[in-house]
Structures are given as C-alpha cells and as structure tokens.
Amino acid sequence: MNPAHAIAALLVFPGLLYALPMGLLMVGSERKLRARFQGRIGPPLTQPFYDLVKLAAKWPLPRTRGERDIMALFPLLSIGAMIGALALLPVFHDNSGFAGDLMLLVGLLEIPPICLVLAGYASRSIYGEIGANREAAIDILCNVPFFAALVAMAVAAGSLQTTNIAFATPWQVRVPALLAVLSCLPVKLRLNPFSIANAEQELLAGPLTESEGRLLALWELAHVLEWVALIGFAVTIAIPGRPGGRMLDVLLFAGASLVVVVLLTLFASGTARLKLRQATRLLWRCSTVLAAIALAAALLARGN
C-alpha cells in the first residue's frame, strides 16, 4: 500500500469520511429496527447524530488536569485505533496491504475494549469498576473463539495478510470461521444477550458512568467507528468474490454491512441479557466449537 492509498484509506474510504456517517446510520438503524421488532415507534435514524452534537456542546464537569487528560486519552486512543483498523480492511480486490497486517488489524480492534476497561478503573466509581470487570471477563472469553477462527483462516490461506486471507481461504474453513466471528460481534458491540458490562438497570452506564459531555461524545464516536470496523471486517472475510469495479465494491461492502446490522438487531431484539456465567457457557458451546471446527478443517486442508 503506497502512501497515497494509505492516506485515502484513512481519511476517505473505508476511513473517516465513510465510516462516520455510515456508523451513525448503523447505530440509528439498530435503534429504530429494535424498536420496530418490539412493537415501538423508536427514535429517528438521525438520533445518534443529534445525541453526538448535544453531548459535544455540554460543558465538562470540573476535574483536575491530570484526571481530565487521562479520561480523554482512552476514547481518543479508541478513535485512532478504529480509523487505523478501517484503513487495513481489504475492501478492494487489488488492496495489497502488507505482510502480517492481520496481526496489526486484530491488535487495533482490541484497543477500544482495553481502553474501556481502563476508563472504568480510572473513573473511581464502583459502577465503573464493576462494569470494567465484566467487560474484561466477557472480552477475554470472546477473544478465544474470535482469535481461533482467524488463526484457522490464516493457516488455511497460508498467510497473515488480510487480502490473502479474504480471497484465498477455502469454504470448508471460511464458513465455520465466519460463523464464529459473527457470533462474537454482539459481544464486541455490547448488544443483547451480551450487554453485560453496560447493563443500565444494574450498573447505570458501566465503565462510562462517570463520563459526561464531550468526554462521552468521544466515547460515542469511538463506538460508532467500532460498528463500522468490526462489521466491515466480518463482511470482507465473508465475501471473497467481488465485482472488481471500485464503485461496485463500495456498494457491496456498504450493503452487506447493513444486512449484518439487521441480523444483529434481530438477534438482540429477540434475546434478553444473560448473566456472565450463562454468557460463558453459550460462547464456549457455540463460538468455540465453531472455531475448533474451522481449525480442524484448516489443518486438514494444509495436510492435503
């Protein structure tokens, strides 16, 4: 990837210029569809944008300079990581990337959960600390099948380059690995039945209980970009055959991402929040089994 393409990927597509409105549309669609599935009218699609503007316009609470800087550092790191992760997505067939970029991509995707945990501990709130504990536990449990599925695809493709993995993984490995990745998305996006860390009836806002105004607006922005990056990552490994034209690739990428949003919303609307122990059993019985099947299929494919 040359410097011009890297800058375009960071700032234009699938970077900030695309990801910000698309993420707001995804979050707005999730809220609207969830309300419709539950027999309610729901907020308008543009409500996440209004919320972001409203929060950004509020004055922050008085804090010491050190505490304010620490609290602002975590969402800024999350936003930067998500923009970097978006730039690494192999949306186009001719996106060469670089050797080992899968490891960087996965590392960037993991920065927001880590920052959220640290923010919960830094808040000095009992609700924030409990939410941080839950976020750390569920994220570790989710990462076992998530990473195993990606390792299976990398082994089958014989490469750690995202473009090679997206286009060279055989279907007998891709299908169970993709199902394992998709089953982990509700955890990483904090949707039902895995919205354990931010259970508002129990923990107010969990790790973000002490965040307010512009600080909370930064976290909302990071979460919006997280939707686009995680769902976009699943889409790029799900559709190996693309039309080839850049405009068609963009339309297919955006359309498939919205389809995944609908599926996640349908799943979240039809389920209730699980306890941590119940979520653990579900992840180990479903996601981990799918990832193990993908690993076995990858090893068999490499052996042949």
Q: Are 82 and 231 in contact (CB under 8 A)?
A: no
Structure token pair of residue 51:
């919320």
Band of residue 93 on the pLDDT scale cut at 50, 70, 90: confident
Query: What DSSP assignment string belongs to 102-165?
Result: HHHHHHHHHHHHHHHHHHHHHTT-HHHHHHHHHHHHHHHHHHHHHHHHHHHHHHHHT-S-HHHH
In angstroms, the CA 219 to CA 18 distance is 19
Distance separating the N- and C-terminal Cα atoms of the chain: 33
Per-residue pLDDT tens digits for 172-206 = 999 999 999 999 999 999 888 887 766 665 556 67
Q: Are 283 and 162 in contact (CB under 8 A)?
A: no
- For 47-96, where are the alpha helices, taking DSSP H only? 47-56, 65-87
- Of 46, 27, 52, give the one whose Cα is nearest residue 268: 27
How far are the Cα atoms of 8, 23, 109 from residue 26, in angstroms, in the given order? Answer: 22, 5, 18
Structure token pair of residue 158:
């014989």
The pLDDT value given to residue 147: 95
The pLDDT value given to residue 28: 94
Q: How many CA atoms lie within 13 A of 148 on its CB side?
A: 25
CB atoms within 10 A of CB 177: 31
Q: Are 176 and 290 in contact (CB under 8 A)?
A: yes
- Considering only the C-alpha atoms of the chain, give the largest distance between any 2 of them, rounded to a whole number of Å: 64
The pLDDT value given to residue 112: 94
- The residue ranges of every structural domain in the chain are 3-303
In angstroms, the CA 55 to CA 168 distance is 44
Q: For 13, left (φ over 0), alpha (ψ -120 to 50), or beta? A: beta
DSSP 64: -
The pLDDT value given to residue 71: 86
Per-residue pLDDT tens digits for 249-278 = 889 999 999 999 999 999 988 887 878 788
In angstroms, the CA 41 to CA 137 distance is 35
Contacts for 40 with CB less than 8 Å, ≥ 6 apart: none
Amino acid identity at 26:
M
In angstroms, the CA 172 to CA 54 distance is 48
Per-residue pLDDT tens digits for 279-300 = 888 888 889 999 999 999 999 8
Average pLDDT for 88-105: 79
Band of residue 12 on the pLDDT scale cut at 50, 70, 90: confident
In angstroms, the CA 262 to CA 265 distance is 5
Average pLDDT for 90-94: 78
In angstroms, the CA 139 to CA 274 distance is 15
pLDDT at position 231 over 70? yes
Band of residue 11 on the pLDDT scale cut at 50, 70, 90: confident
Per-residue pLDDT tens digits for 111-128 = 999 999 999 888 878 888
The SS3 of residue 302 is helix
Report the number of secondary-structure helices (H) and strands (E) in the chain. Answer: 13, 0
Q: What is the pTM of this model?
A: 0.91
